[in-house]
Chains A and B, each alone.
Chain A
Amino acid sequence: MSVQNGINGWAGTVLRVNLTTGSVTREDTLPKYKPYIGGMGIGYKVIWDEVPLDTEPFSEEAKVVFSVGPLTGSGVPCSGRTTITLLSNWSRGKSIVDAHMGGHIAHSIKYAGYDAIIIEGKASKPVYLKIEDDKVSLEDASHVWGTGTFNTNKVLSAECGAEFDVASIGPAGENLVSMSCMITSFGNSGGAGVGGALGAKNLKAIAIRGTGAVKIADPVEHKNLCDYMIRDLVGGNNNHNVPSRPQSWAEYTSTVKNRWQGGPGVMWGAAPDGAIDTGEQPSGQIAVAAYRATKGVFDYGDVVQQYIVKSGGCASCPVRCYSEYNVDILAEYDLPTLVSNTCVPAGSGPTSFYLKDAMHDFKDEGDSKIVLGLHGAYVMDDLGLWENYNNLGREFAWCLKNGVFEKMLPKEEFDSIPWHLMEEGDPRWLDDIMGRIARKEGEISRIGEGSYFFYKAWGLDDASKNEWGVNMYDMIGGNNNVTYNGYPKHHSSEDGWQSGLLYNVMYNRDCMVHVLTNFVRSGSPFNEVIKPVLESYFGEGCVDAPKAYTPINENKVKLAKWCFLQKQWQDSATLCDWMYPMTLSSSPARKYVGDIDLDAKYMTAVTGEEWTMDDILFSAERISNMLRGITAISFKIHENMDNLRKTHDAVPAWVFDKDPDVPAFSEGTDKMDREDWEKSLTMFYEAMGWNVDTGIPTRETLEKFDLGDMADKLEELGLI
């Protein structure tokens, strides 16, 4: 029986499972966690309250928090996301990070009656956590330990029943590889090292079934809002609001490669009952929204259409950003042909493991990326390997191209690697090479420690310490590190001028913030749509045209802060950051104006309490300050650093030195200017109420958000 307790929105219960003792306890979500909303907010509160920040992240003492929010599972579109909070084992400062997992498991957690599941301790042997509403047990996992996530999810689904959702770690997690993730039975991943954190606890998987529901205060308003959103606001994936193929109703056609790729003549060519033409998809028509993204075409181009079976996605999502394929070519290599994934793991990630010249087409021009990318995605997912937004691949590619492996690997190891598979462009190369990383086999597997520790190990973070004379952080071209902490940019200044760079440097992993890129790359014209709509929200000069930037101003800082807070809100609610906030609309009749208050309307309809965006963003700012305070403490403990501005937030040289012939703030570059960047940081810290010299929240700011205990700790460490 589900443990619903009659509260609107929240399930009402936080589940705590101690793997050492086997104890299962429950506590009320409210009122304790309400100021933190849910999801990420609960995760941060638990880590702050319960895990000393000098704790070894992959240890019995560490905790991992799976959490969802008041909107998860409520039927609000794109609310099927789970946040997983843990301490990082791989980025500088070993501070707090989140993984974000899509699929159906968020709904299952909520329907089973929980807002969060806190995992603590360490089991004496491999186990999996089985949850069926209020029945919670630890089950033996020795029969799946050592096997991949696909087998594990299949076996546990069969064992528990098809209505269970399963998420498991692979060999990478079991072997405590830092670049590890977990994978759901629908193929969605949560990264940031969560695989190793659970592997260290001997927890192979979670299998969960929920039969309850989310109580909604005003179902009629809720339904109206959902319909309104899909009908009048939603476009394609990333809420890109202009189709990339001309459609008869559309006033614009995107010339940038955007994420509304469906349209007349664009086919799901391998659909089970015959090819489907995704056809016209007018704004205003709810029934056709799911044809719009057809994400595979974005990832691989038109040649992939013949392999698309359908668009999959998270529960409650009408957008479906997750193309599923049947790539028959793979059968020729005795490899699975039914494959899926999206974004980096399915394209540039796996192909980075080949020299460019080694890649060849299989059947059609341009299909090498499809065959290698999708098999690579399968291998990475099965191994539970995380790509760190492809820093893993970029580092491998750079080492491959520059003969680094030849120099750095012991000869015996180098000779044992079947390089001929790579040279032949054979997809099976990925099984071998990724397998070595996931099993921590040999020196080459150091790449799985993540950029920060890998560079240190091979001296790649200091030009004087390696024979190639490079600093992997600073070099121009092919390197995407956005800080010196071990993670890349994720739609940073190249899409969002100073504002994008500001939020990119705030986290302890790639930021995963899509708010700016969503409208910048929407396909809409800048002067007629993007600029007027955004300026109507944030004032004149808040946005720059692509590659034509201007110096920092107050409205850009206002926008940067809004984007930063939005992320904390979305991961707490939980809502998909690829879609929210509804900045733009697909509707010509609305003149493409979105609805940035929609989230508050949903909160009001679901909880029955009056929520405004100010309320929401206030709570999000509390969580943002927790992120910052915890980061400052971690940097002090692990690196003896007491100034985040000069360390955590420092930006590598390439961001300022790229495009050497084009001056910053002229048409033709997205480079930043050092002086302007310093000014941007100062203005952002001021907007956040942080000390402008150190970038650390002041006591006054922390107390405003009832975080006085964090101020005490910072003071004790001499940080404020």
Chain B
Amino acid sequence: MALLGRRKPGFTTTEAVDPRTLSDAVNEDNIVTPCPAAEQAAGQPPVEEPLPANMAQALAQFVRNHSRGGYLVSLAQLSREDPNVPTLYEQMTSDPACGDIRSYKTAKDTYLYEEGIMSELYLMLNALALDGDDVNTIVTLVRYNSKVFPTVTPLDYFFRTPFSMTQEQVDAAVETILATGGELADIAETQAPSGNRYLYSTDHLTPVYAKSLAEFAEAND
């Protein structure tokens, strides 16, 4: 099935390379300082990974591999790719060997992950990023930062992984948020003396306080 051989963007893919196309620098004969760790590893017996006993456990292993790389597994996306996944998921939840696999539910999807690998915050960030709703991602995190730290949130926060939004995406989402009012009316903008833009929630910060925190966030000596 597609499941075990599948690679998400960002994961390594294996390509067959014709050694004749390599430059001299990387031909084996020219490697004069072999890596000690590689030499040591070459002398060791191969690590035996136990094969999954069934496909539900294979799914669990797939989730673990992703979690260890910092990724959540989208149940909806995987189910679209492989119709067996919903059944396997049901089997997995009742298999004690898969007890470390947890799910994180959002309004849009259910995300699978291995327990104890990712922080609560990262689960939230990752799920928001995968949901792909830029407005909701920004609003949720601006409120979270205003409440928990308390602090204002710089717009470039959303350029970082795992969001990796573009300037255009952020600008469009912020414009929508600030124009929407209603449920989003608590989200406001302030600027640091540098002109950099920050968002905050008026439920937690006053405009005067927010402005001063933007100045604080940038001090650079």
Minimum C-beta distance from B120 to chain A (A): 7
User: Which A residues from 585 to 605 make CB contacts under 8 A with B?
Assistant: 588
- A253 in complex: contacting residue of B121, B216, B220, CB < 8 Å: B121
Question: Which chain B residues lie closer than 8 Å to A253 at the CB level?
Answer: 121, 125, 157, 160
What 1/0 flags go to B143-178 for Cβ under 8 Å of A? 001001111111001011110100000000000000
Question: Which chain B residues lie closer than 8 Å to A527 at the CB level?
Answer: 148-150
A494 and B219 alpha carbons, distance in the complex (Å): 9
Q: Are B161 and A347 in contact (CB under 8 A)?
A: no
Minimum C-beta distance from A511 to chain B (A): 13
Q: Are B70 and A280 in contact (CB under 8 A)?
A: yes
Q: Are A264 and B121 in contact (CB under 8 A)?
A: no
- B217 in complex: contacting residue of A255, A265, A389, CB < 8 Å: A255
User: Which A residues from 263 to 308 make CB contacts under 8 A with B?
Assistant: 263-265, 280, 298-299, 302
A709 and B117 alpha carbons, distance in the complex (Å): 62
Q: Are B122 and A668 in contact (CB under 8 A)?
A: no
The A-B contact count (CB < 8 A) is 107
Classify chain A: how many residues form its interface, as a range.
35 or more
Stretch at the interface among A216-224, A444-452, A545-553: A545-553
Q: Are B218 and A251 in contact (CB under 8 A)?
A: no
Q: Are A255 and B118 in contact (CB under 8 A)?
A: no
Q: Are B216 and A668 in contact (CB under 8 A)?
A: no
Q: Are A348 and B221 in contact (CB under 8 A)?
A: yes
CB closest residue in chain A, given B157: A255
User: Which B residues from 113 to 155 make CB contacts under 8 A with A?
Assistant: 117-122, 125-126, 145, 148-154
Q: Are A348 and B220 in contact (CB under 8 A)?
A: yes
A255 and B153 alpha carbons, distance in the complex (Å): 6
Q: Are B211 and A668 in contact (CB under 8 A)?
A: yes
A389 and B221 alpha carbons, distance in the complex (Å): 9
Q: Are B118 and A249 in contact (CB under 8 A)?
A: yes
Q: Are A255 and B152 in contact (CB under 8 A)?
A: yes
Interface residue B209 (Cβ < 8 Å from any Cβ of A): yes
A247 and B152 alpha carbons, distance in the complex (Å): 20
Q: Are A588 and B119 in contact (CB under 8 A)?
A: yes
CB closest residue in chain B, given A344: B221
User: Which B residues from 85 to 117 make CB contacts under 8 A with A?
Assistant: 117
Question: Which chain B residues lie closer than 8 Å to A158 at the CB level?
Answer: none
Most buried by A among B118, B157, B216: B216
Interface residue A428 (Cβ < 8 Å from any Cβ of B): no
Q: Are B120 and A251 in contact (CB under 8 A)?
A: yes
Minimum C-beta distance from A70 to chain B (A): 31
A256 and B121 alpha carbons, distance in the complex (Å): 17
Interface residue B202 (Cβ < 8 Å from any Cβ of A): no
Q: Are A255 and B149 in contact (CB under 8 A)?
A: yes
A255 and B146 alpha carbons, distance in the complex (Å): 10
Question: Which chain B residues lie closer than 8 Å to A257 at the CB level?
Answer: 217-220
Question: Which chain A residues lie closer than 8 Å to B213 at the CB level?
Answer: 546-547
A residues near B, CB below 8 A?
Answer: 245-253, 255-257, 263-265, 280, 298-299, 302, 343-344, 347-348, 389-390, 490-491, 494-495, 521, 525-528, 545-548, 588, 659, 662, 667-670
B residues near A, CB below 8 A?
Answer: 70, 117-122, 125-126, 145, 148-154, 157, 159-162, 164, 206, 208-209, 211-213, 215-221
21 A–B contacts, CB within 8 A, in A order = A245-B160, A248-B119, A249-B122, A250-B121, A250-B122, A255-B151, A255-B154, A263-B161, A265-B161, A265-B164, A298-B220, A343-B221, A390-B221, A494-B219, A495-B219, A525-B149, A527-B149, A527-B150, A547-B215, A667-B212, A670-B216
